Structure 1
Amino acid sequence: MPHAVSRLRASRLERSVKPFLARGGPKGQRCTGCRLLPTHCICALRPDVQARAGMCLLMADIEPLKPSNTGWLIADVVSDTYAFAWARTEVAPELLTLLMDPQWQPYVVFPAEFVQAERVVHDLMHPANKRPLFILLDGTWDEARKMFRKSPYLQNFPVLSLKAEQLSRYTLRRAQSKNHLCTAEVGALCLDLANDTRAAAALKAYLEVFTEHYLRAKHQLPVDLADAVHVRLQAAIDAA
């Protein structure tokens, strides 16, 4: 069954008045399961791991259409991943229902320097019988700031400010700062905080493999399934 980001992508394509072309124009057929060229497909490498935490992706308009989007990878790994298109003037009723579900403790993941200090937490609060639900604002940095400012339904939740211990290694898009992490990197840090360490390791390794296949497809190079990134992914899967 297609996951939440895949379904959101299909919905967005149905609303498109013209075909969406990734940067660089058409590159041939892409796999519907991983968005890579069929010669570099990673569907068979998708991790099967368990996670107690949930992920809620609020995605900027064309983000689900981009082959380089890494929120898709989170949905591949974390079974309880929800994805919604963000709009300033409306909100999906299903999103509001999710945020009010008593099984979840939502956290808006955003840098502390842009938030009132009383809302900021750096660790999970562990309320009884509640699972963490991490709300990730998936888009460019400017889009994420707009989503944070103009989403009143998020204003009553704690803001989780992450302290990444290493610079982003994601190389498929150019970030405004090396300190800005891609969505999957943020997701992995959240999983670590939630003690879903095996799922976090699998997601980090899966991101590395996705990046390797993406870049090799771009440059028409074969992949080596026995190289270091593939070995790390298999080790993470075996450990889970």
Structure 2
Amino acid sequence: MSSILVSTPSPVQPHAVSRLRTARLARSTRPFLARGGPKGERCEGCRLRPSHCMCALRPELNTRAAFCVLMHDSEPLKPSNTGWLIADVVRETYAFGWSRTEVDPQIEALLADPQWQPYVVFPGEYAQSPQRVVQALDGEDARALEPGKRPLFILLDATWSEARKMFRKSPYLDGFPVLSLHPDLLSRYQLRRSKRDDHFCTSEVAALCLELVGDTADVHAGQVLESYLGVFTERYLQAKHQQRADAGSEAHQRLQGLLDVVPANP
């Protein structure tokens, strides 16, 4: 039976991507109009229509890994952006606007923090030096995760053509290993499609990274993030097509089952 879920009245605490969106809106000289998105009022916490709000499902989990999301100029404004979902799920998510000519000092400070071992997550075929490329965080690779360090995954959140430009024109990232993912599944993201099935949306990439860490809490968070994307996609499309939100759908049941599990702390 279908039903409409509405979030609880208590406000959702803004996270890094939400704050970046607020700052980006403050710089705008005209309203941002989402192409093809649902019209009308949106929830500030999840960017969906209030009738399809999923703020009550926001998990915000502790993980060993963290994410540094570098967002192309318009990405924080897009309702379909999935970097937002990473910050919903993974408590230690940092978000910055990307610039070709300037580097935010906070990015430099984050990348220099000795607790982190940064990895730029991008297809290895685009790295100029093959020695920079790794495909795992353990094993015999010389750039594998060092003892006592926590992985910091750097994600380039943009369209595919924009992300390639960001990768080429961010020299402050050149000293870090490139984590090249080769998943055995095709992208299920339905809101904005790449021409290639092996191009994943930002939250799918993040989920794969968490599973690579191997810690129980991170693997669990990766599964939650993947399922959380499924519910977000379902509700986004239901709102777009003026269909009621279905709290009993398979996507909802899978997410709820994962949220009922409490893994060991990282």
Same fold at TM > 0.5: yes
TM range (shorter): over 0.9
Mapped to 2, the partners of 1:24 and 1:126 lie a distance apart of 42
Q: Partner of 1:43 in structure 2?
A: 55
Q: Which runs of 4+ in 1 moved over 3 A?
A: none
Mapped to 1, the partners of 2:38 and 2:73 lie a distance apart of 20
Structure 2 residue 210 is matched with structure 1 residue 210: no
How far residue 223 of structure 1 moved from its aligned partner, in angstroms, is 1.5
Change (3 A) 1:117 1:49: same
1:62 to 71, 74, 95: 74
Q: What letter is aligned with 1:31? A: C
The within-5 A match list for 1:70-81 is: 70-81=82-93
Contact 2:37 2:240 in 1 (8 A): no
TM-score w.r.t. the length of structure 2 is 0.88
Q: What letter is aligned with 1:178? A: D
Contact 2:120 2:155 in 1 (8 A): yes
Q: Partner of 2:203 in structure 1?
A: 184
Q: Partner of 1:130 in structure 2?
A: 149
Q: Partner of 1:17 in structure 2?
A: 29
Q: Partner of 2:4 in structure 1?
A: none
Q: Partner of 2:180 in structure 1?
A: 161
Query: 230-239 or 61-70: which moved more?
Result: 230-239
Contact 1:49 1:237 in 2 (8 A): no
Mapped to 2, the partners of 1:24 and 1:117 lie a distance apart of 40
1:64-90 deviation per Cα after TM superposition (whole angstroms, max 9, x unaligned)? 000000000000000110000001000
Contact 1:74 1:81 in 2 (8 A): yes
Number of residue pairs aligned between Structure 1 and Structure 2: 240
How far residue 239 of structure 1 moved from its aligned partner, in angstroms, is 1.9
Q: What letter is aligned with 2:153? A: F
The within-5 A match list for 1:225-236 is: 225-236=247-258
2:132 to 113, 119, 124: 119
Q: Which sections of structure 1, spanning at least 5 residues, go unmatched?
A: none
1:95-127 deviation per Cα after TM superposition (whole angstroms, max 9, x unaligned)? 000000000000000001111210000011221
TM-score w.r.t. the length of structure 1 is 0.98
Q: Partner of 2:10 in structure 1?
A: none
Q: Partner of 1:171 in structure 2?
A: 190
Query: 215-224 or 42-51: which moved more?
Result: 42-51
3-state SS of the aligned residue for 1:176? coil
3-state SS of the aligned residue for 1:58? strand
Contact 2:66 2:151 in 1 (8 A): yes
Q: What letter is aligned with 1:200? A: G
Mapped to 1, the partners of 2:150 and 2:81 lie a distance apart of 26
Q: CA RMSD in A?
A: 1.0
3-state SS of the aligned residue for 1:226? coil
Mapped to 1, the partners of 2:60 and 2:79 lie a distance apart of 22
Mapped to 2, the partners of 1:190 and 1:239 lie a distance apart of 20
3-state SS of the aligned residue for 1:8? helix
3-state SS of the aligned residue for 2:80? coil
Contact 1:109 1:135 in 2 (8 A): yes
Mapped to 2, the partners of 1:217 and 1:6 lie a distance apart of 21
1:8-30 deviation per Cα after TM superposition (whole angstroms, max 9, x unaligned)? 00000000000001013770010
3-state SS of the aligned residue for 1:49? coil
